[in-house]
Amino acid sequence: MNYQQTLDYLFAKLPMYSRIGAAAFKADLTNTIALCASIGNPQLTIKTVHIAGTNGKGSTSHMLAAVFQKAGYKTGLYTSPHLVDFRERIRVNGEMVKEDFVVRFTERIKPQITVIEPSFFEITVAMAFSYFAEEQVDIAIIETGLGGRLDSTNIIIPELSVITNIGWDHMNMLGDSLEKIAGEKAGIIKQAVPVVIGETLPETITVFERAATEKATVLSRAADFYYAESWEEKEHVLEVTVVDKRNDEHSVYELDLQGFYQTKNLLTVLTALRILRTKGWQMDIAAVREGLRYTRHLTGLQGRWEIVHTRPRVVLDVAHNEDGIRQVLAQADATDHTDLYFVLGMVKDKEIEKVIALLPEHAQYYFTQAAIPRALPAQELANKAAAAGLTGIIVPDVNTGLKAALQKAAPSDLIIVCGSVFLVGEVNRSLFG
């Protein structure tokens, strides 16, 4: 098989959560353990950092990877889902996994696919571990897919575990309370492996503290080390002043991930780096500043308050749950604009009504859907929005909606595409020159 035939095989043969939802979720690690054992357990040969959380884990993973790269380490990065190209999921020093490796790996494990019947995600996790081992990376940043305890990535013994935050998402699989969701995320905490917690809530901190005690390890909260004193959006960067609580030292960092919510991820990253240095990893302040300043360029991250056009301003953001949408709306409120437009699409298994309840009535909406079975039909989304007092029109796809918004919007207006990772992935960026 060539590369395209290999992808077609993987997409058609294996149940894929991003397309069909919970039916593709395997609620144990049996398949992943068997699959990795069949290829020599490559995950045991690489050093890793493991990152979970409801929101922010993708940005945090990319920021950490960028800092490691600038510090001179050969750095692997595994994230999911991809926006456009499958190979986005597996990178080394920002470069996507080679097509020929995807082909070779798939051919190698075809017999195991027949016997084990793994999910698409289980295959990609094993593929990532195998690639990082073959490439002999110094460190690999591994983002969980869903949850933590039963996530396919949770067969590693990392240098550090990181949990960014806990919010309402995937309740049908992770639990119907913040405590239960936190319990699933806390499943990545390992025996004697330090853990960093980004944001905490009264309902979740005790869950994490109990897990850390049971695993005989040290828990560090970002809020105990740093706080963001101020932040300002400048041309192409977000400038953040961070205060070190231990010595009252003020430091200014520039982020090319411009969403204000990145200040929270920045504090998590700085805390993680602090702990990693105690384990012998060498990352001086210059590497930290450079990595954070050029995260998008170094790692290829897209879809996080990504400004793709300026007049009118067009922003792509993969926010798709309550907390994520709240952050996007807060950023929109802080952004100078006249009229506000949304090109909106969601998937069926989200808390649709709760997200819609957050959206402003004064905005103009283009309701659409991504080209996946999981997508909520645009008509259903429009109906739910209308019941909440939102008005707009139905369009067949995200690019039709974007074109319509661009034709109507004035140069001083703001257009936001959000609601689904897959919707953002379908945006035709050539629309913006």
pLDDT tens string 118-134: 888 899 999 999 999 99
- Residue 358 amino acid letter: L
Do 279 and 393 lie in a common domain?
no
pLDDT at 381 over 70: yes
More confident residue, 103 or 1: 103
The predicted pLDDT at position 350 comes to 67
Query: For the packed helices 285-293 and 57-70, what is the interaxial angle rounded to 10 degrees?
Result: 130
* Co-location of 406 and 426 in the same domain: yes
User: What confidence category does residue 176 fall into, taking pLDDT thresholds of 50, 70 and 90?
Assistant: low
- Please check the confidence at residue 26 and state whether its pLDDT lies above 90: no
> Which pLDDT belongs to residue 171?
45
Residue 340 dihedral angles phi and psi, to the nearest 5°: -120, 130
Least confident of 43-57, 160-174, 242-256, 377-391: 160-174
Q: Are residues 318 and 276 in the same domain?
A: no
Position 147 pLDDT exceeds 90: no
Residues 287, 364 share a domain: no
Q: Using H for helix, E for strand and C for coil, what is the string for the chain?
A: CCHHHHHHHHHHHCCCHHHHHHHHCCCCCHHHHHHHHHCCCHHHHCCEEEEECCCCHHHHHHHHHHHHHHCCCCEEEECCCCCCCHHHHEEECCEECCHHHHHHHHHHHHHHHHHHCCCHHHHHHHHHHHHHHHHCCCEEEEECCCCCCCCCCCCCCCCEEEECCCCCCCHHHHCCCHHHHHHHHHHHCCCCCCEEECCCCHHHHHHHHHHHHHCCCCEEEHHHCEEEEEEEEECCEEEEEEEECCCCEEEEEEECCCCCCHHHHHHHHHHHHHHHHHCCCCCCHHHHHHHHHCHHHHHCCCCCCEEEEECCEEEECCCCCHHHHHHHHHHHHCCCCCCEEEEECCECCCCHHHHHHHCCCCCEEEECCCCCCCECCHHHHHHHHHHCCCCEEECCCHHHHHHHHHHHCCCCCEEEEECCHHHHHCCCHHHHC
Position 20 pLDDT exceeds 60 = no
Between these two residues, 390 and 166, which has the higher pLDDT value? 390
Q: Are residues 183 and 210 in the same domain?
A: yes
pLDDT tens-digit series, residues 404-413:
999 999 999 9
Residue after which a domain boundary falls, among 299, 322, 341: 299
Amino acid at 334: A
325-364: buried (b, 16+ CB within 10 Å) or exposed (e) per residue?
bbbbbebbeebebeebbbbbbbbebbebeebbeebeeebb
Whole-structure pTM value: 0.92
> Which two tokens mark 347?
């998937």
> In whole angstroms, what is the distance from residue 367 CA to residue 383 CA?
10
Phi and psi dihedrals of 190, rounded to 5?
Answer: -115, 160
Q: Are residues 191 and 319 in the same domain?
A: no
Average pLDDT over residues 306-335: 93
At residue 217, the pLDDT reads 97
Q: What confidence tens digit (pLDDT) does each residue in 132-141 have?
A: 999 999 999 9
Same domain, 275 and 323: no
Task: Decide if pLDDT at 213 tops 50.
Answer: yes
pLDDT at 108: 96
Mean pLDDT in residue range 1-30? 70
Task: Take residue 91 and report the two structure tokens written for it.
Answer: 């990178």
Q: Residue 340 pLDDT more than 70?
A: yes
When pLDDT is averaged across residues 206-227 and rounded to a whole number, the result is 96
Give the distance from CA 76 to its chain's centroid.
16
Question: Are the CB atoms for 342 and 393 separated by under 8 Å?
Answer: no
* Distances, alpha carbon 319 to alpha carbons 46, 183, 233, 283, 417, in Å: 32, 23, 20, 31, 9
Average pLDDT, stretch 367-389? 94
Mean pLDDT score, 251-279: 96
Q: Are 17 and 154 part of one and the same domain?
A: yes
Please give the pLDDT value at position 88: 96
Q: Is the pLDDT of residue 433 over 80?
A: no
Cβ atoms 427, 316 nearer than 8 A: yes
Mean pLDDT of 180-209: 92
Q: Are residues 100 and 172 in the same domain?
A: yes
Average pLDDT over residues 184-188: 92
Residue 196, both tokens = 């960093």
The domain that holds 100 is classified in CATH as: 3.40.1190.10
HSE at residue 58, side-chain half, CA atoms within 13 A, is 26
Tell me, what CATH number does 362's domain have? 3.90.190.20
Confidence at residue 170, expressed as pLDDT on a 0 to 100 scale: 45
Same domain flag for 34 and 147: yes
Q: What pLDDT does 22 receive?
A: 46
For the stretch 69-107, pLDDT in tens is 999 999 999 999 889 899 999 999 999 999 999 999 999
What is the predicted pLDDT for the residue at 16?
52
Report the pLDDT value the prediction gives residue 27, as an integer from 0 to 100: 66
Higher pLDDT, 258 or 171: 258
Q: Which of 2-11, 21-30, 236-245, 335-344 has the lowest mean pLDDT?
A: 21-30
Q: What is the mean pLDDT of the chain?
A: 92
Do 97 and 136 lie in one domain? The reply is yes
pLDDT at 293: 97
Mean pLDDT of 139-165: 93
Average pLDDT of span 37-61: 95
Strands 195-197 and 160-163: parallel
284 and 386 part of one domain: no
Paired residues of 242 in beta bridges:
228, 251
Residue 133: per-residue pLDDT = 98
Rounded mean pLDDT of 296-313?
94
Task: Give the range of the structural domain holding residue 24, as residue numbers without chain letter.
Answer: 3-299
Residue 36, pLDDT score: 96
**What is the rounded average pLDDT of the residues 227-244?**
93
Return the minimum-mean-pLDDT range out of 24-33, 82-91, 301-310. Answer: 24-33
219-221: strand order across its sheet: 95-96, 90-92, 75-78, 139-143, 48-52, 160-163, 195-197, 219-221
Q: What is the pLDDT of residue 169?
A: 53
Report whether pLDDT(175) > 70: no
| Among candidate residues 277, 299, 321, the one where a domain is terminated | 299
What pLDDT was estimated at residue 145? 87
Which of 251, 269, 299 represents a domain boundary (last residue)? Answer: 299
pLDDT at 12: 78
Tokens standing for residue 194: 């330090």
Our count of domains for the chain comes to 2
